[in-house]
Amino acid sequence: MTSLNYLLLTPGPLTTSHSVKEAMLFDSCTWDDDYNLGVVEKIRQQLTQLATASEDYTSVLLQGSGSYAVEAVLGSALGPQDKVLIVSNGAYGARMAEMANLMGIAHHVYDCGETALPDIHKIESLLDTDAAITHIAMVHSETTTGILNPIEEVGQLAKRYGRTYIVDAMSSFGGIPMDIAELNIDYLISSANKCIQGVPGFAFVIARTVKLAECAGRSRSLSLDLYAQWKCMEEHHGKWRFTSPTHTVLAFAQALKELAEEGGVAARHQRYQNNQRKLVAGMRELGFKTLLDDELHSPIITAFLAPEGPQYRFKEFYERLKQQAFVIYPGKVSQSNCFRIGNIGEVYEADITALLAAVQNAMYWNK
Ligand SMILES: *Cc1c(COP(=O)(O)O)cnc(C)c1O
């Protein structure tokens, strides 16, 4: 274990502020009003307000990492007769298909490859030809590559065809402005340790209340029953069904406060975008190429192609950066050799400047 405190340039958990970590220095009682009413209920309200100006939505917090909430939504929102169209261009879309498969949920996967956007006409023709499809599920910012999917266009289709629309906005919610009512989203999923900049431990779902209210008794799992979790929180004013991640929740409340202090989602988006543009420009100057074209890109994370030549090893590059207090992320794309650099979290322009100098230092294959 090194004592060196490094900057996480990863898609979460990410580098959090000192004050977010400090908020965890308190032991809450899960029966106490200070915690349930004072913290949990407030978070639920704030999340709904962050997601939309509409009054038609509610939010549910759920123990576990982001995937738990994705699984809870698929397992609770789809009835036994329902079928979901999963639009996929990366590992997180593929994970939704894996979940549907495991839970015995009827599904069709439209996989458009890892470096392309889904074709809206293709989705439309799938909806035309397969009347059994009742739900559409898609990832917004596909963290595998950093690609940003067209949630608005797909939302318009969902509305036109009267289909329930599920969006995994894990790595974009809080970092990219959106109004989920305008986007026709019925279920939006994200987690504590991404763009809100909290610590890991729970995920959350912002759902159209009338849709969620129809989900009683549907869940394929006890712990991942989104409806039951919601009912408990509603009826007992912020009470979680099972042990809640109290320290993580306190950190999250502080993280939401800091998001507001920064100027809200628009200001955070601006910072991430500046980080990402500066990163890409600097990396290109050093000779690196991005996996994706600029117009496909989210401001969240960037996949770079591994340098050519026999000398480069990710692990060696990684270690050399870590020695300089920067932690990057391996690639996840199946077709190309990549590494990834995230720029969400407590990461500012000066950090990117310092990172670029560290990268130049670490390019051992070039020397
Ligand atoms: C992080 C992430 C998830 C959830 O991953 P966990 O490891 O379960 O937290 C899901 N989808 C996307 C797009 C993500 O970036």
Q: pLDDT category, 285, cuts 50, 70, 90? A: very high
Instruction: Average the pLDDT over 123-132 and give the result.
Output: 98
Which two three-digit tokens encode residue 119?
Answer: 């074709």
Instruction: Average the pLDDT over 295-316 and give the result.
Output: 94
pLDDT at 309 over 90: no
pLDDT at 2 over 70: no
Instruction: Average the pLDDT over 304-312 and give the result.
Output: 93
Q: pLDDT category, 3, cuts 50, 70, 90? A: low
Beta-bridge partners for 8: 327
CB contact at 8 A, 211 and 165? no
Distance CA 65, CA 69 (A): 7
Which two three-digit tokens encode residue 232?
Answer: 């408990």
Instruction: Give the chain's mean pLDDT.
Output: 96
Residues 6+ away with beta carbon under 8 Å from 195: 171, 172, 173, 174, 175, 176, 268, 272, 300, 344
Answer whether 67 contacts ligand 1 (Cβ < 6 A).
yes
Q: pLDDT category, 81, cuts 50, 70, 90? A: very high
CA distances 65 to 167, 202, 324, Å, are: 16, 6, 29
Instruction: Average the pLDDT over 337-362 and give the result.
Output: 96
Helices (H), the chain: 18-22, 33-35, 41-51, 66-77, 91-103, 120-129, 151-161, 209-212, 226-235, 246-262, 264-285, 314-322, 349-362
CA distances 175 to 102, 160, 195, Å, are: 31, 28, 5
Distance CA 332, CA 303 (A): 9
Instruction: Average the pLDDT over 121-133 and give the result.
Output: 98
CB contact at 8 A, 256 and 197? no
Residues 6+ away with beta carbon under 8 Å from 198: 16, 20, 192, 248, 251, 252, 254, 255
Q: What is the pLDDT of residue 314?
A: 95
Answer whether 191 contacts ligand 1 (Cβ < 6 A).
yes
CB contact at 8 A, 85 and 136? yes
pLDDT in tens, 312-321: 999 999 999 9
Answer whether 331 contacts ligand 1 (Cβ < 6 A).
no
Distance CA 258, CA 126 (A): 43
Q: Using alpha carbons, select from 353, 355, 354 the residue that is nearest to residue 341.
A: 355
Residue 57, SS3? strand
Distance CA 296, CA 309 (A): 27
Q: How far is the CA of 318 from the centre of ligand 1 (A)?
A: 22
Q: How far is the CA of 91 from the centre of ligand 1 (A)?
A: 9
β-bridge pairing 202-208 and 57-63: antiparallel
pLDDT at 191 over 60: yes
Distance CA 233, CA 173 (A): 22
Answer whether 143 contacts ligand 1 (Cβ < 6 A).
yes
Answer whether 88 contacts ligand 1 (Cβ < 6 A).
no
DSSP per-residue letters across 267-331: HHHHHHHHHHHHHHHHHHHTT--BSS-GGGB-SSEEEEEPPSSTT--HHHHHHHHHTTTEE-EE-
pLDDT in tens, 211-229: 999 999 999 999 999 999 9
Instruction: Average the pLDDT over 33-51 and give the result.
Output: 97
Q: How far is the CA of 92 from the centre of ligand 1 (A)?
A: 7
Peptide bond into 177 cis (omega under 30): no
Residue of 62, 63, 67, 149 best suited for mutating to test ligand 1, as the one with most atoms within 8 Å of CB: 67
Q: Which sign does the torsion angle of CA 189, 16, 268, 144 carry?
A: negative
- Closest ligand 1 atom, residue 90 Cα: 13
Answer whether 193 contacts ligand 1 (Cβ < 6 A).
no
Q: What is the pLDDT of residue 5?
A: 85
Residue of 70, 92, 199 best suited for mutating to test ligand 1, as the one with most atoms within 8 Å of CB: 92
Instruction: Average the pLDDT over 283-297 and give the result.
Output: 96
pLDDT at 294 over 50: yes
Q: What is the pLDDT of residue 218?
A: 97
Which pTM was predicted? 0.97
Half-sphere exposure of 237 (CA within 13 A, CB side): 9
Answer whether 66 contacts ligand 1 (Cβ < 6 A).
yes
Instruction: Average the pLDDT over 294-318 and give the result.
Output: 94
Answer whether 149 contacts ligand 1 (Cβ < 6 A).
no
Q: Using alpha carbons, select from 103, 163, 114 the residue that is nearest to residue 139.
A: 114
Higher-pLDDT residue of 69 and 31 is: 69
Q: pLDDT category, 1, cuts 50, 70, 90? A: very low
Distance CA 175, CA 139 (A): 15
State the virtual CA torsion across 164, 169, 172, 176 in degrees, nearest 10: 20
pLDDT at 335 over 90: no
The radius of gyration computed from the CA coordinates of the chain, to the nearest angstrom, equals 21
Residue of 63, 151, 171 best suited for mutating to test ligand 1, as the one with most atoms within 8 Å of CB: 171
Looking at residue 109, what DSSP letter applies?
E
pLDDT at 80 over 50: yes
